[in-house]
Amino acid sequence: MKLTCLSQGNGYYCPPTHILQLCGFRLLLECPIDLSSLAVFSPIPSAGAANLDASSGLLRALPWLKTVPGLHLWDPSLIDAVLVSSPSAMLGLPFLTRNAKFCGKIYATEVVARIGQLLMEDLLSMHAEFLQFYGADVKPASPEWMKWVELEKLSPVLKQVVLGEDGEELGAWMPLYSAADIKECMQKIQPLKYGEETCFNGSIIMKAYSSGLDIGSCNWTINSPKISITYLSSSLFMPACWKGFDYHSLLGNDLVLFSDLSSLSSTASTCAETREIRNNNMIVENDPSLCSASALSKDEIPHQLFGTDETSDEIEKISFICSCIIDSLEGGGSVLIPISRLGTVLLLLEQISESLESFNLKVPIFMISPTAEETLAFVNTVPEWLSKQRQQKLFSGEALFNHVELKKVNRLHVFPSIYSSELLMMWQEPCIIFSPHWSLRLGPVVPLLRRWHADPKSLLILEQGVNVEVALLPFRPVAIKVLQSSFLSGIMMHKVEPLLEILHPKLVLYPEDLRIQYPLKENSSWSYLYYSENVQLRVPSFVEDVKACLETNLAFQLRPRRLTQQNIAIARLKGRIFLSKGKYFLAASRIPMEFSNKQLLYWGSIEPTCLLLALQDRGLVGTIHWNKDAANGVYTIQITNPEKAVIETSATMTTISCEDENTATLIYEALGTVCDGI
């Protein structure tokens, strides 16, 4: 087994990507795009305000997307399967599937596949505005902005986004896929339920289990006949309203591939740069003192992982955001929430509407995106993927989320586009707007930010991990308040080791960079191997024997023979072997096998008198002649009746010489009864 980490990713929207070589197959783990790369492009200039973009230093061209660096170096025909753990992890899939050479299978949970599809469609339809503005690329293979002269003009920060740290990532850029590409991609996905067993090529069994990161997000168990693997992506132990981390189903596998690098990106994100606009920027920090007892069911997650209470932290965070929102609204400012994490959006929506209720504020909430309507309708039909508390709503006949009710009473309005006439008729400020973030370059956020960027009363809510300075480049001067909040997007570092203790693997594949940042304790019960980007890691195999099933029909054919000295019986086995659902089976052959009674392999030595007796039993008369020159057990048996024959025996070898075939067979038979063999 080998692991190559293609990318450590970049926060929630761009999870780490690996290639896992197992049983001769190559599995691609995740296929995201680097959404932050969109930020190097300038939004479509608004009529009459063209100068706004001129100063930003951004590329004015049809945006391309940056895929996982290094992935394009792999021949798509060599990728046998792709595992996708979250909706954002599939945004890069159409780039792979539109390649005619790709013929692998793609696995994702039903919900991830559906939400991912909606995200792709959303991206595509927003990108269409650019297409309309710029027209298609004149030179589709190498657009103008990719030329060195153009790239040299970029600021160092933007240049690094385009070229990567080593300046080698230009090849990762791709023109956006089409609707047909998305459709083709979706057809290649095999949607799964949590805990559904799927078998790749009869030999690798894969199952997805809830990771708690978002609705439908998952971790995987990957079992081959030789090794069982837990592939651990970013996980949340106790999310607010969807299924939490299912650790129980991951127990006892040989190996854990630890791929939750959320701690890495949350600290590595450029704090220093965000401080620049600190005067109008509030950062919500994780305050460990906030942890308090929770009323939520603790039985699902063992005590060790419970520790500081993430759930109450998150609730605390969200209520802080709500209070900021209320402040802004009361001050007459609008609130823009460009967040694409579905679970977080739903949670915010519920909390905000409750806050508005309690403050008796009659402010409209808009949700604007081409796929918002479908997304909201969809999440109300997935009770199986939600937390136990939320499922209770199904069983008592209530809608799963309160947006159903909010829409009914006209508190929430959902529109596909900001330019819809109904929206214009209903428009009212202050208001709250949810819309996808797309690095603040595509879609409704652009005109809305142009409207509010200089309004100090308004509020923009961003997630941590976004480079605020770059994100707001086209919207300067910035006077709008920016609230950057770090929603939990993975396992907190101090819970990693307790978790591993519970999972109890033999070996952990762990990111080198994370180890440098957070040293691990020495551990005797499992060992670590450390992986880094683009370095192939060989994982030694540590299973000696392979489990198999001996079918009854074959077992009945066995003729066991007890050995003289030990407590062992042995039997020759001849049948067919096949692999089914990751398990070896041995069964009787379809065509009856000829089973020769003759033994073919002998060991030990032969007692001459025993052999003589055995020969006599078969009517062969002979005498023993000790060989004079060799003292150590070399002797000859001369058979005289009924046919002539000679048997020469030493400690390690016996030779039978006899012209008559029947007699030879008899001698051989007699030999078999006095010598261990098979």
Nearer to other proteins by Cβ, of 197 and 455: the residue is: 197
Q: Are 447 and 46 in contact (CB under 8 A)?
A: yes
Nearer to other proteins by Cβ, of 484 and 654: the residue is: 654
Phi, psi angle pair for 525, to nearest 5°: -90, -15
**194-197 contacts at long range (C-beta below 8 A, 24 or more positions apart):** 194/109, 194/218, 194/243, 194/246, 194/384, 194/385, 195/249, 197/581
Q: Are 454 and 480 in contact (CB under 8 A)?
A: yes
Nearer to other proteins by Cβ, of 193 and 451: the residue is: 193
User: What is the nearest approach in angstroms of other proteins to the Cβ of residue 202?
Assistant: 4
| 3-state SS class at 46 | coil
**595-600 contacts at long range (C-beta below 8 A, 24 or more positions apart):** 595/557, 595/559, 598/668, 598/672, 599/672, 599/677, 599/678, 600/677, 600/678
User: What is the nearest approach in angstroms of other proteins to the Cβ of residue 243?
Assistant: 11
User: What is the nearest approach in angstroms of other proteins to the Cβ of residue 104?
Assistant: 11
Q: Residues 474, 479, 481, CA angle at the centre, nearest 5°?
A: 105
User: What is the nearest approach in angstroms of other proteins to the Cβ of residue 349?
Assistant: 18
Nearer to other proteins by Cβ, of 320 and 602: the residue is: 602
Q: Residues 413, 418, 423, CA angle at the centre, nearest 5°?
A: 45
Residue with tokens 């190996």: 255
User: What is the nearest approach in angstroms of other proteins to the Cβ of residue 399?
Assistant: 7
Nearer to other proteins by Cβ, of 149 and 653: the residue is: 653
Residue with tokens 């990751």: 582
C-alpha 645: how far from chain center: 71
Q: Are 63 and 38 in contact (CB under 8 A)?
A: yes
User: Quick one: 62 exposed, middle or buried, by C-beta within 10 A (0-12, 13-18, 19+)?
Assistant: buried
Q: Is 279 left (phi over 0), alpha (psi -120 to 50) or beta?
A: alpha
User: What is the nearest approach in angstroms of other proteins to the Cβ of residue 392?
Assistant: 10
Strands 432-435 and 64-67: unpaired
Nearer to other proteins by Cβ, of 196 and 512: the residue is: 196
User: What is the nearest approach in angstroms of other proteins to the Cβ of residue 440?
Assistant: 28
Q: How far is CA 374 from CA 11, 145, 262, 426, 578, in A?
A: 26, 36, 29, 21, 46
User: What is the nearest approach in angstroms of other proteins to the Cβ of residue 195?
Assistant: 4
Nearer to other proteins by Cβ, of 184 and 373: the residue is: 373
Nearer to other proteins by Cβ, of 201 and 304: the residue is: 201
User: What is the nearest approach in angstroms of other proteins to the Cβ of residue 204?
Assistant: 9
Strand partners, 484: 283, 462
Nearer to other proteins by Cβ, of 276 and 398: the residue is: 398
Nearer to other proteins by Cβ, of 47 and 591: the residue is: 591
Q: Is 326 left (phi over 0), alpha (psi -120 to 50) or beta?
A: alpha
User: What is the nearest approach in angstroms of other proteins to the Cβ of residue 579?
Assistant: 4
C-alpha 457: how far from chain center: 42
User: What is the nearest approach in angstroms of other proteins to the Cβ of residue 233?
Assistant: 20
CA dihedral (135, 139, 140, 144) positive or negative: negative
CB count in 10 Å sphere of residue 480? 24
The DSSP secondary-structure symbol of 495 reads: G
The DSSP secondary-structure symbol of 44 reads: P
Helix (H) or strand (E) holding 486: none
C-alpha 399: how far from chain center: 31
Nearer to other proteins by Cβ, of 85 and 224: the residue is: 224
User: What is the nearest approach in angstroms of other proteins to the Cβ of residue 171?
Assistant: 23
Nearer to other proteins by Cβ, of 400 and 470: the residue is: 400
User: What is the nearest approach in angstroms of other proteins to the Cβ of residue 464?
Assistant: 33
- Terminal CA-CA length for the chain: 36
User: What is the nearest approach in angstroms of other proteins to the Cβ of residue 552?
Assistant: 4
Short-list 293, 294, 274, 292, CA closest to 284: 274
Nearer to other proteins by Cβ, of 163 and 646: the residue is: 646
Say how many residues make up the chain. 678
Nearer to other proteins by Cβ, of 358 and 552: the residue is: 552
Q: What token pair was written down for 194?
A: 């949590």
